[in-house]
Structure 1
């Protein structure tokens, strides 16, 4: 099923791309194209039915067309660079989450139930970091969103000021409830008239409600204690860092893994800072305004350039030019901020769900123990040998080395496969369809026709 928001134009549809409207900027520019069509029609009527001829030879229009085209190309490339940079940073953050999950689940020792619960709780914060980053970049501030409330309900809140809004928009003093407009939620009255953590309705906030509220100008934030909008990902990094330090103090992790975990956490903060850089560094306003002015001046001058040679065909020609130029301008504006939930923005919802699914799958079973999978009856580590790893482990070290020396002798084929008739002792093997190991044949050049074969053959 295709998503309803936060996706690209490549969704399931029976219509070809040429006939699609969803995912395009047509709905945003249609009224501008219609306005230019009416304007061109007025110019044609005046030229056709009055003595006021509108066929001005404006050679400057041709020059302006080239300049506007170059400006639009630069505008689109700049916007796409921001889009691609956001995708690259999110991939880097996903890599860090994966590495930290692997380091915590596999490399951190556990000796009692408390250790296991600490590991699982720390990994849950990694998943919450991804969801909190998504909401943070969409200016959805709060802890009660339905996709992360269960992961954050137990931790204290710092209410760290956000970096996605100007300082002039923020306050450092808790706001009284009386000055806040009550919207879709109801707050119980307190005797002192002040907001406290216990007075907040713990009801979850769905992401769809959050999107509706974000477009309302009255109040965009739902901070935990009605302080300034909070930077929840930074808060989570403190708790993740405290767990890593606890593992170091208790000696549960080696130095190499500890360094990897700290580096991964630092890289996650670096990605978050990169997201903020993209969000808080739009295309300069003067450049955007000038580009709009130049584009509209060109389109408004175009009818006078074409009416002499094209007549009534000038109207569809102007409409086509307006659709093309305004469409490119609208695309650049839409992908300039790739973190919203429009069709052409990054599908952050799916990215977060992928991270959660991977992490949940990883921690669904205990961390793998090498002895469980190396010394399996289905593992035949030596080529052209019918001895499994379990059987080889019963031999002496010298005997195994001799077998490996024989394996290194050039032969026609090296077949890594389990025996068909039985093991080395002639005992039948129990076939388990789910554990059948496929054969891998490696061709090796023949050095000599008299080369000895392995003992197993």
Structure 2
């Protein structure tokens, strides 16, 4: 995402690509050519291609208002998408705090009557918080039209979930596979050529103890953690060196996958045509003379995301049930806690509200993605604008002369640019440089959830009554430990204690009021 002010920052090819010049240059060139034709014919021949400009002001005002409404409505969708992602982050934090703090660490196994270990309960709670993290990642891939779970940033978080309806995995067949895994396996085969795949070692079916598994485990034990990570993703030494600078997937578990894991971020590849779109003309001229390469597999390039003129193509809209199934597991966990008496009713209500908020946000995000502006409105607006720009040179030639050419070019650039911006940002969830930075949002959720689980949940008396705490400052700058040890102070008196404390707090208010006013 490019979010810098273009007037007060250094320009680059990336910022140029973030503009809509690639999308509108053919139309600007066409209307400039019409203006040049009108200017030359009117100046070099007896025919004057000009008529009254009485309609120019009226139609221009109407078109300006309609285009402004078009851009404003698209920007509303853009901002609504940002607000919904804020809601996902907030609900994820609330849900993680409930799981980590309000679900007790002390628990008795009802079957055996023995106390469960802290390690066992911590693993349980941390695994469910990992599912909360996986939810935002699954929503990101859903909005980008990337179905399934086989991604470097999603699969390690959900791979422990059950895959079959039967508990006996040795006898399980594809017919017993649960919806999320069955759909993901089908999507992995269907979209195998639509992504840049990374290599990963195959995983044998659960429950088998083949020699290949034993050899893989032996190799795994001989490798360092960093070597394991990069071997699973098949990265070269150069890629590994580059990955050390910024590679968020290094923070995730290292697991085997039965399907090659696709990249967490897979934007279309850049080419020279994305920065110099007029060169596509030469590509058209050369293409008939190029040799056929049918024997070689097709590699996705930026050409698959843009038309011949450089206009962006909208990505395919796909469905994915991964976010839904994650919320089902979270709801099942809440029901299990209630059944075992591990949640208070008020906490359970907050738990359920957080899950409902997650489901509500993904529904609204999917609504934004799947509800474009009606075709009739877009077609009528664009045709009206084309007719206005086409007849613009005929109306201004008598007043501007040859300045009609740059004037028409500027008017075309201005009006077509705003129209194209509205069309681009109405679905702000893809890889365009003007879209929302979904990867950054997901990583922010990941950092916040890990910060929550880093909280050790200590008893309040372990940190309140220490030498570091001055609760009554500035009225009384003694520490809590000193105040407790000074038993002769009026704070400890049966009659003067609370009165003296209130007097100190009142003094603190007065001191703060005087110190903080200019």
Q: TM-score, normalised by structure 2?
A: 0.67
In 2, the alpha carbon distance for the partners of 1:204 and 1:110 equals: 35
Task: Please identify, of 203-212 and 41-50, the stretch whose mean Cα deviation from structure 2 is larger.
Answer: 203-212
In 2, the alpha carbon distance for the partners of 1:127 and 1:176 equals: 22
> What residue number does 1:399 align with?
493
1:261-311 residue CA offsets vs partner (Å, 9 max, x unmatched): 110110110011111111111111100000100111100010000101110
Displacement of 1:88? 1.1
> What residue number does 1:106 align with?
101
> What residue number does 1:197 align with?
none
> What residue number does 1:354 align with?
444
In 2 relative to 1, CA 361–410 (structure 1 residues): closer, same or farther, beyond 3 Å?
closer
1:290-347 residue CA offsets vs partner (Å, 9 max, x unmatched): 0100111100010000101110001111011101100100110111101112121111
Please list, as runs of the form range in 1=range in 2, the aligned pairs for 1:189-204 lying within 5 A after superposition.
201-204=258-261
Is 2:440 the counterpart of 1:374?
A: no
In 2, the alpha carbon distance for the partners of 1:300 and 1:159 equals: 54
Which of the residues 331, 336, 340 maps onto 2:430?
340
Question: SS of the counterpart of 1:409?
Answer: helix
Q: Does the 8 Å CA contact 1:139/1:214 hold for their aligned counterparts?
A: no
In 2 relative to 1, CA 74–274 (structure 1 residues): closer, same or farther, beyond 3 Å?
same
In 2 relative to 1, CA 71–412 (structure 1 residues): closer, same or farther, beyond 3 Å?
closer
In 2, the alpha carbon distance for the partners of 1:143 and 1:179 equals: 14
Q: Does the 8 Å CA contact 1:7/1:347 hold for their aligned counterparts?
A: no
Which of the residues 253, 256, 262 maps onto 1:205?
262
Q: Does the 8 Å CA contact 1:159/1:229 hold for their aligned counterparts?
A: no
Matched pairs, number: 390
Name the structure where helix makes up a greater proportion of residues: 2
CA RMSD of aligned residues (A): 3.8
Is 2:67 the counterpart of 1:91?
A: no
In 2 relative to 1, CA 406–105 (structure 1 residues): closer, same or farther, beyond 3 Å?
same
> What residue number does 2:512 align with?
442
> What residue number does 1:34 align with?
29
In 1, the alpha carbon distance for the partners of 2:187 and 2:465 equals: 66
Is 2:318 the counterpart of 1:312?
A: no
Question: SS of the counterpart of 2:508?
Answer: strand
> What residue number does 1:67 align with?
62
Please list, as runs of the form range in 1=range in 2, the aligned pairs for 1:27-426 lying within 5 A after superposition.
27-111=22-106, 112=117, 113-156=119-162, 158-159=178-179, 201-209=258-266, 211=268, 229-383=319-473, 384-385=475-476, 388-392=479-483, 399=493, 402-409=496-503, 413-414=507-508
Question: SS of the counterpart of 1:42?
Answer: helix
1:197-227 residue CA offsets vs partner (Å, 9 max, x unmatched): xxx843221134475669859xx899xxxxx
Displacement of 1:59? 2.1
In 2 relative to 1, CA 401–362 (structure 1 residues): closer, same or farther, beyond 3 Å?
farther
In 2, the alpha carbon distance for the partners of 1:179 and 1:354 equals: 31
Task: Please identify, of 382-391 and 275-284, the stretch whose mean Cα deviation from structure 2 is larger.
Answer: 382-391
Q: Does the 8 Å CA contact 2:327/2:355 hold for their aligned counterparts?
A: yes
Unaligned runs of 5+ in 1: 1-5, 162-170, 189-199, 223-227, 416-439, 446-457
In 2 relative to 1, CA 175–207 (structure 1 residues): closer, same or farther, beyond 3 Å?
closer
Displacement of 1:373? 1.9
Displacement of 1:404? 3.6
In 2 relative to 1, CA 443–38 (structure 1 residues): closer, same or farther, beyond 3 Å?
closer
Displacement of 1:96? 0.5
Unaligned runs of 5+ in 2: 107-116, 164-177, 202-256, 270-299, 306-314
In 2 relative to 1, CA 176–53 (structure 1 residues): closer, same or farther, beyond 3 Å?
closer
In 2, the alpha carbon distance for the partners of 1:230 and 1:387 equals: 59
In 1, the alpha carbon distance for the partners of 2:370 and 2:85 equals: 17
Displacement of 1:26? 1.7
Question: SS of the counterpart of 1:345?
Answer: coil
In 2 relative to 1, CA 328–400 (structure 1 residues): closer, same or farther, beyond 3 Å?
farther
